[in-house]
């Protein structure tokens, strides 16, 4: 008879990190449910949480290293795969210099201690070609934080549980469950605002799932947010409603001057929002006891991403809502990530190591991923020839996928740390798969930095990992130990080899907690320890967020910089009218997320993809009618750089002139190793987005700034794109 047991841990598929109870019978999971005792999620989970067992037992999840042999892969031992990786990495750096070998870290690296290991790997790689998913994500928030608070990591979070007015700009937490604000059960938390008499306003070109829960939906024009925010600021200054309380700030006068000409009437043109809406929003923000403006990915993916996030922070400051309960706050995490990063990287910086080909600016040593293809495809000394990818799928997640594919094909060496043969890793020479989520112990030290309550949670493994397996932590440190790494490398290589073999990541993260701001080293017997988090059912609740200013500021004068010159200058060039369409391309493309999908990588799980096709293009009824299209039609969507074909979903939720397509789809390409995903309909929207469109100040991809056209299809066969990368399914536009 086999014993049944329940293991409480976190789901780490998205930033919410919900607590789950995993029911186990022998070596099988019989059920996964929300953990009511979890201090953050209190029993909530979304449908994705139940896939942890499906991922674990997916026969297509890799268990052994793969090494390329001819056109295919063969299994290899860890010793052979790692020593081959070492040999080839060293050869590239020896023959072509350090920058010839690069690194791309994907989104899931933030969800385990691989985040720390990746920092070590990058340090020993010593290459300026360091990329990650952050530059198709939060680079604008990094830059705004650096300019205003003195450190890229100082991104405020929304104190959603105590606010009276939440203004959500370019985020859909009812689906995403929050990001750079860890808020499991965002839907419940949003409802609670209204239940306690508060108000929720959503600014989004689509009436989203979040907008449906709100008191008011403001259907802004894509990219119209800075004008809208300036219009609101104008009213606050005009009405004398600005009150920064006792916050240490500089630059208030410059902000007032900037907002001066932006009357709501003028801002209406560029934002596509009525002047009265801006006036009302200003009155609501000025009048609320506790209010918070929260912006996220929708505005990061615009050429004005950094300007918008700066103006969001400014609005929180001038309404007295920065660093106060119910406003935009900074957590008090058990591990000060910023301090750890400063130890590894030195102080927060911008533009210290620009890119070779186009001189693109780095953000704390990391280049925007839009630079990756051009660094591979442009000849010259220092050309990028080898790439290590860790937990990333840039072939689907980066803009202008055809160029990304071309670059990946062009590499002399590619090493991927991933558990699937994906659209990206199919190009690798060596694939190194980590254990499954259920086979690892975790102590989350990243998301407490961005959580709506201070907390520390431990996740025990559910199953013993197989004897011949490695965690991400060990794999990445072993790769690092293979690098020459200069003088530093010489000194730390033996230690790294030892650590990666015998010291689990949780020992290191526990030590960081012990030596952290609330650990026993500083707080004595009352100090917080990993062991206490491990013992506590549901983890440690360390209380509501508390004011942190000015102590945590890293600006030179220890004040919040409201008017950094580069931002003022960029804001000075904002257009005061709506962008013109280009004739050929007359619709603006924006993104969309779904509760059952997580970026590109849960589509091999049957329960996540069954049912109706979710990779559709949404269009307003008037726009559909103008093109003679009806719901369910197959249509061709084209941009300046690509064409895809997919079903049309006619929806009143869309702002006219705007279309929405989700990302992370399009698995039907040659040689991928996830057959359920490959058999699921869906196309890659990033075949349409352009690498040339970026947020000027951060280099983040401006994925939502793409203009497209939507047409009916006529049935004519077309050839597949090179390498099967094209995701059109055999038809071409009716009109050309
Ligand atoms: N279910 C699910 N959850 C996820 C993920 C997932 O793929 N699926 N991904 C995770 C990741 S990596 C992240 S970063 C987070 C992201 O979390 P969110 O930031 O909440 O992301 P989205 O749901 O994409 O919401 C962005 C919103 O911006 C809107 N938008 C587009 N352009 C504009 C614009 O110009 N102005 C304004 N005001 N709005 C605009 C879009 O219509 C969309 O509703 O979600 C995380 N959680
Ligand atoms: N058009 C458009 N494009 C977008 C976005 C958008 O809104 N619109 N959103 C962007 C955003 S916010 C993000 S964050 C990026 C995401 O971009 P990426 O991080 O590049 O891609 P993911 O789809 O998250 O792929 C994650 C990969 O990691 C692997 N993986 C999962 N867990 C683990 C693990 O624990 N260890 C290891 N070693 N591997 C693991 C999976 O198999 C998968 O291959 O996409 C971006 N791209
Ligand atoms: S919201 Fe869903 S995917 Fe995200 S952590 Fe919670 S259960 Fe997992
Ligand atoms: Mo993301």
pLDDT in tens, 165-212: 999 999 999 999 999 999 999 999 999 999 999 999 999 999 999 999
Indicate which ligand has the atom closest to the C-alpha of 588: 1
The stretches of 524-605 forming alpha helices (DSSP H) are 530-535, 565-572
d(CA 103, CA 124): 11
CA of 158 to the centre of ligand 1 (A): 16
Residue 530: CA count within 13 A, CB half-sphere = 21
Residue whose Cα lies nearest atom 26 of ligand 2: it is: 392
Which residues contact residue 540 at a Cβ distance below 8 angstroms, ignoring those fewer than 6 apart? 39, 455, 456, 457, 528, 532, 533
Domain with CATH 2.40.40.20 in the chain: 587-712
Domain with CATH 3.40.228.10 in the chain: 155-331+556-571
- Residues with C-beta less than 6 Å from any ligand 3 atom: 11, 13-14, 16-18, 45-46, 48-49, 177, 184
CA of 49 to the centre of ligand 3 (A): 5
**Domain 66-127+368-444+454-543 fold:** Rossmann fold (3.40.50)
Q: Which of 12, 105, 136, 644 has the most ligand 2 atoms within 8 A of CB, as the residue to mutate? A: 136
CA of 486 to the centre of ligand 4 (A): 33
How far is CA 536 from each of CA 180, 457, 458, 531, rounded to the nearest angstrom? 25, 9, 9, 9
Tell me what the mean pLDDT of segment 96-124 comes to: 96
Domain with CATH 3.30.200.210 in the chain: 5-57
Which residues contact residue 673 at a Cβ distance below 8 angstroms, ignoring those fewer than 6 apart? 60, 62, 420, 421, 422, 426
Cβ–ligand 1 distance for 221 under 6 Å, the answer: no
Cβ–ligand 2 distance for 397 under 6 Å, the answer: yes
Cβ–ligand 2 distance for 326 under 6 Å, the answer: no
Give the pLDDT confidence of 327-379 residue by residue, as tens digits: 999 999 999 999 998 988 889 999 999 999 999 999 999 999 999 999 999 99
In the chain, % helix, strand, coil (3-state, to 5) comes to 35, 20, 45
d(CA 174, CA 163): 17
Say which range, 125-129, 132-136, 485-489, 645-649, has the weakest mean pLDDT: 485-489
Give the pLDDT confidence of 633-678 residue by residue, as tens digits: 999 999 999 999 999 999 999 999 999 999 999 999 999 999 999 9
Domain with CATH 3.40.50.740 in the chain: 66-127+368-444+454-543
Lookup: tokens for 33:
């449910």
CA of 599 to the centre of ligand 4 (A): 8
CA of 301 to the centre of ligand 1 (A): 10
CA of 170 to the centre of ligand 1 (A): 7
CATH of 587-712, one of 3.30.390.10, 1.20.120.1750, 1.10.1740.10, 2.40.40.20: 2.40.40.20
pTM (2 d.p.): 0.96
Domain 5-57: assigned CATH number: 3.30.200.210
CB of 674 closer than 8 Å to CB of 422: yes
d(CA 412, CA 428): 10
Cβ–ligand 1 distance for 296 under 6 Å, the answer: yes
CA 340 to chain centre: 21
The pLDDT, as a whole number, for residue 2 is 62
Under DSSP, is residue 220 helix (H, G, I), strand (E, B) or coil?
coil
Residue whose Cα lies nearest atom 2 of ligand 1: it is: 176
Average pLDDT, the chain: 95
Closest CA to 671 of 390, 422, 397, 398: 422
CA of 133 to the centre of ligand 4 (A): 7
CB of 291 closer than 8 Å to CB of 284: yes
CATH of 155-331+556-571, one of 3.40.228.10, 3.40.50.740, 1.20.1050.10, 2.160.10.10: 3.40.228.10
Cβ–ligand 1 distance for 597 under 6 Å, the answer: yes
Under DSSP, is residue 109 helix (H, G, I), strand (E, B) or coil?
helix
Q: Where are the beta strands (DSSP E) in 175-277?
A: 199-203, 216-218, 249-250
d(CA 390, CA 336): 24
> Both ends of the chain: CA-CA distance in Å?
68
d(CA 389, CA 391): 7
The stretches of 425-485 forming alpha helices (DSSP H) are 472-482
Between 549 and 717, the more confident residue is 549
């Amino acid at each position: 008879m086999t014993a049944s047991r329940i293991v409480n841990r976190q789901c780490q598929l998205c930033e919410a990190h919900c607590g789950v109870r995993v029911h186990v019978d022998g070596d099988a999971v019989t059920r996964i449910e929300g953990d009511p005792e979890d201090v953050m999620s209190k029993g909530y989970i979304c449908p994705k949480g139940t896939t942890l067992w499906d991922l674990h037992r997916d026969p297509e999840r890799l268990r052994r290293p793969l090494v390329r042999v001819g056109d295919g892969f063969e299994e290899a031992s860890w010793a052979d795969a790692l020593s081959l990786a070492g040999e080839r990495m060293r050869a590239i750096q020896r023959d072509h210099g350090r920058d010839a070998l690069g690194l791309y870290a994907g989104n899931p690296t933030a969800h385990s201690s691989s985040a720390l290991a990746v920092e070590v790997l990058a340090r020993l790689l010593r290459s300026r070609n360091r990329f990650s998913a952050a530059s198709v994500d939060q680079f604008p928030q990094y830059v705004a934080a650096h300019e205003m608070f003195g450190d890229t990591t100082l991104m405020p979070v929304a104190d959603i549980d105590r606010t009276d007015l939440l203004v959500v700009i370019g985020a859909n937490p009812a689906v995403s469950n929050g990001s750079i604000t860890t808020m499991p059960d965002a839907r419940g938390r949003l409802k609670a605002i209204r239940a306690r008499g508060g108000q929720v306003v959503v600014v989004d070109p689509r009436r989203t799932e979040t907008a449906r829960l709100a008191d008011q939906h403001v259907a802004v024009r894509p990219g119209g947010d800075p004008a809208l925010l300036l219009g609101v600021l104008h009213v606050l200054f005009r009405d004398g409603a600005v009150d920064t309380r006792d916050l240490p700030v500089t630059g208030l006068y410059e902000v007032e001057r900037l907002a001066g000409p932006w009357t709501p009437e003028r801002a209406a043109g560029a934002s596509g929002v009525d002047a009265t809406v801006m006036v009302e929003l200003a009155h609501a923000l000025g009048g609320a006891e506790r209010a918070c403006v929260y912006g996220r990915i929708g505005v990061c993916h615009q050429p004005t991403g950094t300007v918008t996030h700066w103006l969001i922070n400014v609005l929180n400051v001038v309404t007295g809502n920065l660093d106060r309960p119910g406003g935009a706050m900074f957590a008090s995490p058990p591990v000060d990530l910023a301090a750890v990063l400063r130890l590894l990287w030195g102080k927060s910086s911008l533009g210290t190591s620009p890119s070779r080909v186009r001189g693109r600016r780095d953000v704390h040593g990391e280049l925007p991923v839009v630079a990756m293809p051009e660094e591979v495809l442009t000849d010259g000394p220092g050309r990028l020839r080898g790439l290590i990818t860790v937990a990333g799928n840039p072939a689907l997640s980066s803009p202008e996928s055809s160029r990304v594919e071309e670059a990946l094909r062009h590499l002399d060496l590619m090493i991927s740390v991933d558990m699937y043969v994906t659209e990206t890793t199919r190009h690798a020479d060596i694939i190194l798969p980590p254990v499954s989520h259920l086979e690892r112990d975790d102590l989350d030290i990243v998301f407490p930095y961005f959580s709506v309550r201070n907390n520390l949670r431990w996740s025990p493994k559910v199953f013993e990992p197989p004897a011949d397996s490695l965690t991400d932590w060990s794999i990445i440190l072993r790769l690092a130990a293979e690098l020459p790494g200069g003088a530093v490398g010489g000194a730390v290589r033996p230690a790294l080899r030892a650590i990666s073999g015998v010291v689990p990541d949780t020992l290191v993260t526990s030590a960081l907690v012990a030596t952290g701001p609330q650990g026993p080293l500083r707080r004595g017997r009352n100090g917080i320890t990993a062991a206490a988090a491990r013992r506590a059912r549901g983890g440690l609740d360390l209380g509501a967020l508390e004011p942190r200013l000015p102590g945590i500021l890293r600006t030179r004068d220890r004040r919040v910089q409201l008017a950094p010159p580069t931002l003022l200058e960029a804001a000075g060039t904002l257009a005061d009218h709506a962008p013109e369409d280009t004739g050929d391309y007359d619709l603006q493309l924006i993104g969309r997320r779904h509760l059952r999908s997580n970026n590109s990588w849960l589509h091999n799980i049957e329960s996540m993809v069954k049912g109706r096709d979710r990779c559709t293009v949404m269009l307003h009824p008037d726009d559909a009618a103008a093109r003679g299209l009806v719901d369910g039609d197959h249509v061709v969507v084209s941009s300046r750089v690509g064409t895809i074909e997919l079903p049309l979903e006619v929806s009143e939720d869309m702002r006219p002139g705007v279309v929405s397509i989700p990302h992370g789809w399009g698995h039907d390409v040659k040689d991928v190793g996830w057959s359920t995903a490959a058999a699921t309909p869906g196309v890659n929207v990033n075949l349409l987005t352009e690498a040339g469109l970026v947020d000027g100040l951060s280099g983040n991809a401006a994925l939502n700034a793409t203009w497209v056209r939507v047409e009916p299809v006529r049935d004519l066969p077309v050839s597949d794109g090179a390498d099967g990368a094209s995701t059109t399914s055999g038809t071409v536009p009716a009109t050309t």
